Each structure stands twice: as C-alpha cells, then as structure tokens.
Chain A
Amino acid sequence: MKSKMSSIFYRELKVQNKSLKDPLFVIGVYLSLLLIFPLSLGPSSNLLKNFSPAIIWTCSLITFLTAIEKFFISDISEGYLEQLFLSNLPLSVIVLIKALCHWISVGFPLIILFPLISIFLNLPLNLLWIICFSLFLGTLSFSLIGIMGAALVLGAKKSNVIVILIIIPLTIPILIFGISSTLFCLEGLIPYSTLYLQCMSLSFLLAISPIVTSSAIKIYLE
C-alpha cells in the first residue's frame, strides 16, 4: 500500500515536471502577470502597496488556472486511469496524492519566489513568513479545487474554458480570506482570525475534494 502510494507520488511528480522548463514556465507566468501591475499602475509606491495583496492573490490564482491541465490530460490519452482504478487503492487517496504533487510543482515555486516578489512590490519584510504561510494555505486550496474542476470536465470538449467557469466561483472565499490576511500583515498585525478561516477552508476542501473528484472519475470511466 505504502509502496504503491510513493510510486504514484514519484510518477506524478515526474510526469508533471517533465523537465526543468515546467517549473520555470510556472514562475515565468507568475512573474509576467505581476509585472503588468507596476507597469499599468505607474511607479507610485503608495498605490502599489494598497493593491499588492489583491495583485499577489489574483496572479497566483491565474497561474494555477493555467496549470490545471496538468491533472488528468495525459492520464486519459494514455489509458492510465483504468490502471489506477484496478490498483486497489481508494481513488480518493490517489486524488490527494495528485493534488499534493500539483501543489509541489505549481504552488511551491511561487512560495519560494515570494520574497523576491515582495521586494518587487515594496512590501514590508518583517511579516513575510506569515504571508508565505497564508499563501501556502491558499495555494493548496487552489490545487484541491482545481482537481475537482478538472475531474468534473473529464472528457468534455473545450474543457479548459468550462473548468475556469467552474473553478473561479469556488475560489472566491479563499481569495477573500487570503487577501485579508495579507492586508493585516501589511499593517504589521498577525492575522490569526483570517489564518484560522483559511485553515478551515483548507480542511473543508481536504475532506470534500477527494470524494467529489473520485466520483467524477468514476462517472468519466463509465
């Protein structure tokens, strides 16, 4: 059981990061999205500082949306989902492993990069680690929502448009909590309440997402 899980984990990481260019691509998308804002708002640092929480979170959301196809696209065209189905592991466990791998290959580079970005956006550095923690909670939730959406549109044509329509409404609460905890950080407060709310939504998703996703996969296989 354990060897199966770790085998799926390593395979998934390798498939999602075929070469170095995949994480670099994620980082590139994020940085170029972030670059738009200083350019369009002008160099006045006050405006940037007010908008920066929203900028950080929307950019990471869009980066996640571009990486949503990583979940299942290749598995379908290879006929690999059937083998997962016969592997005797509960599908929900497999879903959790897949979501975790997705977070490692998309969310992790963003968080590593974040200190650099905060200099970019003129953020105070003293509460940086709390912003990083709240980004960790938020991006992991994005992965869990993303895998639900990706599984729901399995086999549909033009799925990348539909999946965005499904996912964006679900991410709104996470965006709100995330942005508000970043706002508190910028004012020099430690945002316990919103961090708790983020933890709450993450644990809710941890419980719901595997169930929804595995039943969606079963429907697809039929």
Chain B
Amino acid sequence: MELDNLAIVKGFNRLFSKFSYIFNFGKLYILTGSNGIGKTTLLKCICGFLRPDSGFLLWNNIKINNENTEYAKNIFYLGHLDSLSPNLSVWDNIKHLSILLDIPNPFNEGIDLFQIFHLKDLHVYQLSVGQKRRVALSLLNLNKKSLWVLDEPLSSVDKRYEKVFIKLISDHINNNGIVIMSSHDTLHHYKKASTQIINLDVIK
C-alpha cells in the first residue's frame, strides 16, 4: 500500500503537503507525533473517510477512489471511539459489528483474550471506559482483514492486556497483514524488526 504525494488541508491548517509513504505487508507501523499533528487525520484518510486534497492512495498498485468498495473490504478500523451503542448489550453490539464487518464473532469462537465474556449481558453504558475498549479490541481476535487501522488502541486499557494485544498484532503481521496504529506510548513493547515508527514531527 502506498501513499503518494498526499496533501490534506483541514480548515485553515495545512496538515500534510506532499506526504509519501509506502506500507508493506507483514509490518507494523506506529504513527507518533505531538497532539494535533494529524495522526488521526492520516488514519482516516487511509480508511477512505476523508478524501485527500491532492495526491492519492494506492492499494496493490491500484488507485483508490471514493467508490472503491473492494478496498474497504480489506480494512478494519478502530477509532478512538469504540463504535458501541450504549443502549445495547455487549453481546448485541459485538454480534452486530461482526456481521456488519464480516469478521468472526469473538463470543462464538470461544477464545476470551480480553476477558469480556462475563460482561456479555451488560449494557454498554454500564461498562467502564477500559472495559469498553477491551470489548472493541476483542474484534481483532481472528480478524482476517489485511489492513488494521487502529487509533490509540491501548488508551485506558490495563497493562496486562497489552501483552494480549501485542500477541494479536504480531500474529497478524506474521500472517502478512499490515497494522497501522497511532500511539503515544513509550513503544518499548513493540520494538521488533518488523516495526516501523513514523514520527510525523520529523517527517514534516
């Protein structure tokens, strides 16, 4: 996957001008940079929610336009909101999202990596922020979409689930997937050969 000469203008801010980058299969990319530098905007642009003002995205050397549904099939996006409806139970939310996005339902597969099974019948508004995040992260389990775009995935999650998360990510990378995530973290957990850190402060 390739970003070619991307320029994004948001309001009066020129966030990116002539930003180019190549993402390879089987690698983890971590976006870092100070607040407001455009991490989330770049991730949204990669997902196709946001059209770049100039430049284009390439996926397997094919140009992506807004109507490209084939490309959207490959993406799993988890923003800093959890996409869970507070008035539905955890089970209903997860079941719906797994049907909607064509991914396996973690409740059916029987592997409770993030220890959420006991929350199954609670309504989402009854959960804490960290619990909600864990419910959303559980969708990564057995997820076969090749491009994972995660925006601050580990915010407000307990330290002990970080290992689980890292294992999921390294499995995904070994299966030739791409993970692009933004993070504020110290990153010492992720340091590996297949990891690339993109510091937007430096690039711009």
User: Which A residues fall within an 8 A CB radius of B?
Assistant: 3-4, 7-8, 10-11, 14-15, 18, 74, 77-80, 82-88, 218, 221-222
- On chain A, the residues within 8 Å of B49 by CB distance are 82, 85, 221-222
18 contacts between A and B (CB under 8 A): A4-B99, A7-B96, A8-B100, A10-B96, A11-B96, A14-B87, A74-B85, A74-B86, A77-B81, A78-B83, A78-B85, A79-B83, A80-B85, A82-B49, A85-B72, A86-B72, A88-B69, A222-B50
Given A11-B92, A11-B96, A82 contacting B85 (CB threshold 8 A): no
Q: Is B75 an interface residue (CB 8 A)?
A: yes
Would A83 and B87 count as touching, CB distance under 8 A?
no
Would B88 and A14 count as touching, CB distance under 8 A?
yes
- Select A3's contact among B48, B80, B97, B99, beta carbons within 8 Å: B99
Q: Which of B44, B80, B83, B95 has the most CB of A within 10 A?
A: B83
Complex: A86 Cα to B44 Cα, angstroms: 12
- Select B100's contact among A7, A77, A221, beta carbons within 8 Å: A7
What residue of chain A has the Cβ atom nearest to residue B123's Cβ? A18
Report, nearest first, the 3 A-B pairs whose CB atoms are least far apart: A79-B81, A7-B99, A221-B49
Q: Which of A3, A8, A85, A86 has the most CB of B within 10 A?
A: A86
- On chain B, the residues within 8 Å of A7 by CB distance are 95-96, 99-100
Complex: A78 Cα to B48 Cα, angstroms: 19
Complex: A80 Cα to B95 Cα, angstroms: 14
| A-B CB pair tally, cutoff 8 Å | 71
B188 shortest CB reach to chain A, Å: 29
B160 shortest CB reach to chain A, Å: 25
A92 shortest CB reach to chain B, Å: 12
- On chain A, the residues within 8 Å of B84 by CB distance are 78
B169 shortest CB reach to chain A, Å: 19
Would A86 and B85 count as touching, CB distance under 8 A?
no
Complex: A158 Cα to B16 Cα, angstroms: 31
B132 shortest CB reach to chain A, Å: 10
What residue of chain A has the Cβ atom nearest to residue B124's Cβ? A78
Complex: A8 Cα to B88 Cα, angstroms: 13
Complex: A120 Cα to B49 Cα, angstroms: 51
Would A82 and B47 count as touching, CB distance under 8 A?
yes
Would A80 and B87 count as touching, CB distance under 8 A?
no
- On chain B, the residues within 8 Å of A218 by CB distance are 66
Complex: A14 Cα to B51 Cα, angstroms: 33
